[in-house]
Structure 1
């Protein structure tokens, strides 16, 4: 029964740890394997044939390098060979076997040059392997010092072409992945009706699209090989929709800069606009023409052959599911084919998922139901329509006091079940390493289709940065870069040929009453998405040679995915994946995804504005998927760099979200608000710097017994503001009351940063007026009494004196 991979038995570290860290080192490589090799000097294969015919000579070009601080002389290279291997498992064992298990063949090649510290020399030699029979042979080149002690080995497997007598060729199909990192500067937001200006952090992608770049060569290699009809029929190009979408935008022009212009329009004083402004326009990109050429070639592939969409940005689907965010998962697995259809003219193979990790993490399967492309409405209404239906206005929105902690600050991991999809109406098929060509139900409507994990492991160990697969046997893991790139590429081609031989069946099976032997499973070739053009040429060359010689029979991807009538539930199995995303990284993505959802729900559609709220925040979700890419994270040599890239992208994304957070805010008249009475209103301004209107409520927190009588839902116009009037019932204290006010979404989720105000009420309350009035009356009475005791006023005495004088006269 098919095995479903999970991480239940392997405890992923809480934070990323370098492969050299003792706590995780043994998950990357078995310390007992090939210990001590390459410490003093190394031997590397530079050129070697990918396959030979029987009795052909085997000529190689080598490089020997001194790794010590002292000169080395008397070095020699000895060729060794072991018996042919019968399976891919044996091929992996031979790569870690003791050098004594290889017999000596051919002659000894002395290194005539005395090597100074750090110096290298190149030499050529005929190995004299004398390979007579069809098969796959382990070869080891042993570097010896002047005392015949082993300094290093470079190991590979060489295949002898041919088809044995009385056998029938088995089936073969192959994926041909095309993916690359997309370094869009984080913080992009949507515009309408056109895309926003594309800002890339570097010209790295342009270099890969150049005529001699990796992406350009990958496409050229495939077009040349697929000219043979059998190769075109047996292969399917797996395209990263994030790459295709970005190259399409590059073709229309782009900018290279380390930051992007702000999307939030802040009020600016006149004096602030006088000079000193930073030029944020960057430099025009130089890859637009190469982008157009590359897209035209990919359109030719899509028009004549098989294509299938990888997850967006080749994201780690287990990590995406662990965020519990359905919209992030939908963007990862649902949108891809429709982007290919828009740009290339065809959606390719539908309802098919190709996880970059090669396995389905426990609990992830229900979320993969979003890849039911036959049910999707993206082509009709985009994801916006689905968002609007799922987030219809809720009349029971909570009001009143609460917490001012936004999604960006909550330190809680999400529930996996939050990302689950409704059961697909049409089965979704997920390709993953396990038993070759086996089928099993992972969840209702989600079926896993297996391919050989040993072959995938050997293919992943190719290129400049060999990768460690989570499904591989930990005892056989080692630092694959100890063998040269050329040696590992040759071994990959030999593994494809060995897998093809394992699929041979007897040509004339004897007829017996017993049940006939089942047909061998067809071979499925699944290279890593980040492979280089040289490795692709070697592996695809092996596929083409096998099909042309009749050693394999072409099988389309559709035929490989065709399930039998009776499919049983899958059984879980464990994997050890040292490159799995950690809880610390998942928490950051979870926080940002939740805040993006809150921000999207805060905005409201406006018929006068072409931009939709989901379209505005869509690029922000894509930032998170890019941060969770599989990329070369599984490569021991690149793990630390990938962790740093993830951290930098999440930091840039969070900075952009904080900027958007500050765009919707409250502006109080001051830090201290003094009111004349308890019934006096408080005034505050709600400002919106976003390009769409927002509907929001005012939330608050304060001391025990404090109640803020806030208005209901506020609608703040796009890039505008409104003045809000409220009253407050506050406990009577001499020092006033401290309040925190913030804006929330309709569901009560805090959005803006809280603002603090101190509310004080003047001492002249109603009771105070009565006391003051009584005091005034008492003062007047006292004054009258005093005046009565002193006699009449001076003016009256003067008038009486004048009257007496007149009478006397």
Structure 2
């Protein structure tokens, strides 16, 4: 090809190149989040926690996967490190955002010449902790060190660029000794244990609400919305893993000195215990959200075994109750119902004690999610003096100095009744991110958010372990100030089995190495109550994230008032022993389940509305189940004092106290039958009435509780009376008077020996002074006297 043809081809090629470049996506930017071409994942870190007895080389292994829409060439990775974290906010900010604080450790290593779409390549990087002759992490003292694996590549239609990175924290509790023929000898560096942190860890056992809504007490077998809890309780499940880790960590063989057992306290959601305890007797599982049909559950044996294991553990380990169903106390405060408040805050400890057969630790309110607001504080304070364990305040930067901030964990009094013992939100968020379903607690400031779903499960575990140890490894600002820390994962915590074990292993390592000393929950409560702070610290007015809408508050407010009105009238069924309070308690608990913070914030309102709709219908059905039976609707009263016959019906499982209200028209008086106890079933009733008119009229009859709650539907009766009123009374009196006169007349004649006309069948005989009257013609005369 030459001459004009070659020139034409060159022009066409140039045009195609220009058009191709114009149609191509933009080239990769310097930050990896701009265009997702590849995703890097850290799968293994050795050692996970560096100690004086560890190897002196850190090895990181992982995978690079092409997640974009085009091939990527020259895929390379490099390990980078940063200085030790100097603030609790740095535990979060080093895991996201810019990477200016990181410095390279060695050069890039090519892991693939080209990665097609969906392909992946594995890598392994190693670097010494410290070295004078080769690239190293330059770790010179114990602390928490951020590490980063950087991946570069060249996407099609693009230029070489940094495409992604993976970040995690490396806890270094001590430096191992190093040295070789080519390396100067360096001795081990132990941590400073002269000022140990007083450590308390709350170990949550909770779940999402599983019981289907709208079932009153005594409904057997119970019904669950799904059977996921059976898998969670079975060997290998989430709740089994949490319980197994606590059993192992506190066993005498592992915790010989009992330091973990003195530091650990089980934070148990009573709703979980109620559900598991019900499962032990057999249960059903709804086939659909509507729950029209169901099938037997499969977790009865697993529930029985798990509950017995928990009882054994609770006999020698601290136990405390969390708010019922992890209800949002701020929303509950807006509802403003004291009975529901007590069910959420005060009564959970009684439920835990009854089911586990222990005496739980009282006096603490455990908030694993959500901020403590002023409304929630008022609610808790109305239940009595308490210590609230809640997330503290921390942001990426101190508002005054602009420096990276550290959470203040000093107890603070927020009201005369309440003292807050805060935990570090950065540490709590790191624990919440563990497992296969990471979450960010709603108490976390937005400036401390990280890429939860970008990081691998192992990287998130590294971050949690590093966050747990950070305060113990940092030098105290004042040697004379005691350092306290509370470790509080969210109530509905979902770590994997190895995650849960790693957390308690790290806790034990910190306690046994002298970095920390155990501090029981009882000690936290006692010391906080003795905290004399003259200042009352302000609280936020509302939840910033994850709150419930006004329609949810309005729904609960209306339904709970009607439910308590019904409950106040219920009594105990002597046949079954079921009390009125036990009969309606599941419905009140359903309202708390609707406010559960175990659900993701973006779906909470929808799920709450769905549950409350069912509960509201059930409350209405229970109120309507006590009614007046009116089969005929028309009655005729034989006299003015004939009773009005009625029949009352109670379809509830317990007796109920009722009052009958009759709207009597003029001319009718109804006697008050007083307060009636209506047992389950039918009760015939005859209501005394007095009618003074003879007519047909309508009578409205209704039932109410003694407190005034209307029950069922009112009945309208058509009543006809044969009474004559005053006219009948006068006639009766007149007839009685005439009868009296006639009787007196007869007696008068008899006393005088005179016959009375009423005693004779024929005409009266003539008197002696009168001659006989002439006989009628043809009538014979009686001559008996002449004979």
Q: TM-score, normalised by structure 1?
A: 0.70
Deviations 1:116-170 (A, max 9, x none): 54x2525132153524221212222333330233333322211212244584322
Secondary structure in 1 matching 2:310: helix
Note the C-alpha offset of 1:759: 7.7
Residues 150, 676 of structure 1: alpha-carbon distance in 2 compared, 3 angstrom cutoff = farther
User: Could you tell me which of 169, 177, 192 is aligned with 2:204?
Assistant: 177
Query: Matches of 1:545 and 1:493 in 2, distance apart?
Result: 11
Residues 488, 34 of structure 1: alpha-carbon distance in 2 compared, 3 angstrom cutoff = farther
Query: Matches of 1:150 and 1:724 in 2, distance apart?
Result: 90
CA contact (8 A) 1:439 1:568 kept: no
Residues 613, 59 of structure 1: alpha-carbon distance in 2 compared, 3 angstrom cutoff = same
1:317 aligned partner: 329
2:315 aligned partner: 303
CA contact (8 A) 2:645 2:684 kept: no
1:538 aligned partner: 502
Residues 663, 710 of structure 1: alpha-carbon distance in 2 compared, 3 angstrom cutoff = farther
Alignment of 1:560-709 (within 5 A): 560-561=524-525, 562-563=527-528, 564=530, 566-574=532-540, 577-605=544-572, 607=574, 610-633=577-600, 639-640=602-603, 642-668=604-630, 686-697=648-659
1:792 aligned partner: none
Query: Matches of 1:455 and 1:232 in 2, distance apart?
Result: 21
User: Could you tell me which of 136, 145, 150 is aligned with 1:137?
Assistant: 145
Secondary structure in 2 matching 1:304: coil
- Is residue 2:48 matched to residue 1:84? no
User: Could you tell me which of 187, 195, 199 is aligned with 2:214?
Assistant: 187
User: Could you tell me which of 220, 225, 230 is aligned with 2:259?
Assistant: 230
Query: Matches of 2:113 and 2:278 in 1, distance apart?
Result: 54
2:177 aligned partner: none
User: Could you tell me which of 257, 281, 285 is aligned with 1:252?
Assistant: 281
Residues 101, 307 of structure 1: alpha-carbon distance in 2 compared, 3 angstrom cutoff = same
Residues 664, 550 of structure 1: alpha-carbon distance in 2 compared, 3 angstrom cutoff = same
Residues 198, 438 of structure 1: alpha-carbon distance in 2 compared, 3 angstrom cutoff = same
Secondary structure in 1 matching 2:438: coil
Which 5+ residue runs of structure 1 have no aligned equivalent?
Answer: 1-32, 263-277, 370-419, 507-516, 730-735, 767-809
Deviations 1:702-742 (A, max 9, x none): 99x9999795645433222446769999xxxxxx99x9976
CA contact (8 A) 1:469 1:577 kept: no
Residues 436, 699 of structure 1: alpha-carbon distance in 2 compared, 3 angstrom cutoff = farther
Deviations 1:423-455 (A, max 9, x none): x3xx42221122655333444433322222332
Residues 742, 465 of structure 1: alpha-carbon distance in 2 compared, 3 angstrom cutoff = farther
Deviations 1:258-282 (A, max 9, x none): 48999xxxxxxxxxxxxxxx9x673
Query: Matches of 1:90 and 1:707 in 2, distance apart?
Result: 83
Query: Matches of 1:149 and 1:674 in 2, distance apart?
Result: 98
Residues 478, 701 of structure 1: alpha-carbon distance in 2 compared, 3 angstrom cutoff = farther
Residues 755, 343 of structure 1: alpha-carbon distance in 2 compared, 3 angstrom cutoff = closer
1:112 aligned partner: 112
Query: Matches of 1:505 and 1:34 in 2, distance apart?
Result: 36
Residues 699, 444 of structure 1: alpha-carbon distance in 2 compared, 3 angstrom cutoff = farther
CA contact (8 A) 2:208 2:599 kept: no
1:430 aligned partner: 388
Query: Matches of 1:445 and 1:212 in 2, distance apart?
Result: 43
1:551 aligned partner: 515
Note the C-alpha offset of 1:614: 0.7
Most deviating of 314-323 and 169-178: 314-323
Query: Matches of 2:586 and 2:343 in 1, distance apart?
Result: 10
Query: Matches of 1:252 and 1:109 in 2, distance apart?
Result: 60
Secondary structure in 2 matching 1:99: coil
CA contact (8 A) 2:204 2:266 kept: yes
Note the C-alpha offset of 1:610: 1.8
Residues 488, 699 of structure 1: alpha-carbon distance in 2 compared, 3 angstrom cutoff = farther
CA contact (8 A) 1:716 1:722 kept: no
Alignment of 1:450-465 (within 5 A): 450-465=422-437
CA contact (8 A) 1:71 1:114 kept: yes
Q: TM-score, normalised by structure 2?
A: 0.71
Secondary structure in 1 matching 2:507: helix
Alignment of 1:322-341 (within 5 A): 322-341=334-353
Which 5+ residue runs of structure 2 have no aligned equivalent?
Answer: 1-29, 128-135, 175-189, 393-406, 692-696, 726-787
CA contact (8 A) 1:317 1:355 kept: no
User: Could you tell me which of 42, 47, 65 is aligned with 1:45?
Assistant: 42
Deviations 1:373-399 (A, max 9, x none): xxxxxxxxxxxxxxxxxxxxxxxxxxx
Alignment of 1:647-796 (within 5 A): 647-668=609-630, 686-697=648-659, 713-722=675-684, 743-752=703-712, 754=713
Query: Matches of 2:606 and 2:209 in 1, distance apart?
Result: 15
Secondary structure in 1 matching 2:503: helix
Residues 445, 576 of structure 1: alpha-carbon distance in 2 compared, 3 angstrom cutoff = closer
Residues 724, 137 of structure 1: alpha-carbon distance in 2 compared, 3 angstrom cutoff = farther
Note the C-alpha offset of 1:206: 1.0
User: Could you tell me which of 527, 546, 567 is aligned with 2:489?
Assistant: 527
Secondary structure in 1 matching 2:201: strand
Query: Matches of 1:464 and 1:207 in 2, distance apart?
Result: 16
Secondary structure in 2 matching 1:212: coil
Secondary structure in 2 matching 1:58: strand
Note the C-alpha offset of 1:679: 13
Residues 760, 210 of structure 1: alpha-carbon distance in 2 compared, 3 angstrom cutoff = same
CA contact (8 A) 1:664 1:687 kept: yes
Of the two structures, which has the highest relative contact order with CA contacts closer than 8 Å and spacing of 6 or more?
1
CA contact (8 A) 1:248 1:295 kept: yes
- Is residue 2:272 matched to residue 1:243? yes
CA contact (8 A) 1:457 1:468 kept: yes
Query: Matches of 1:464 and 1:702 in 2, distance apart?
Result: 69
Query: Matches of 1:715 and 1:349 in 2, distance apart?
Result: 40
Residues 607, 256 of structure 1: alpha-carbon distance in 2 compared, 3 angstrom cutoff = closer
Secondary structure in 2 matching 1:573: coil
Residues 662, 69 of structure 1: alpha-carbon distance in 2 compared, 3 angstrom cutoff = farther
Secondary structure in 1 matching 2:481: coil
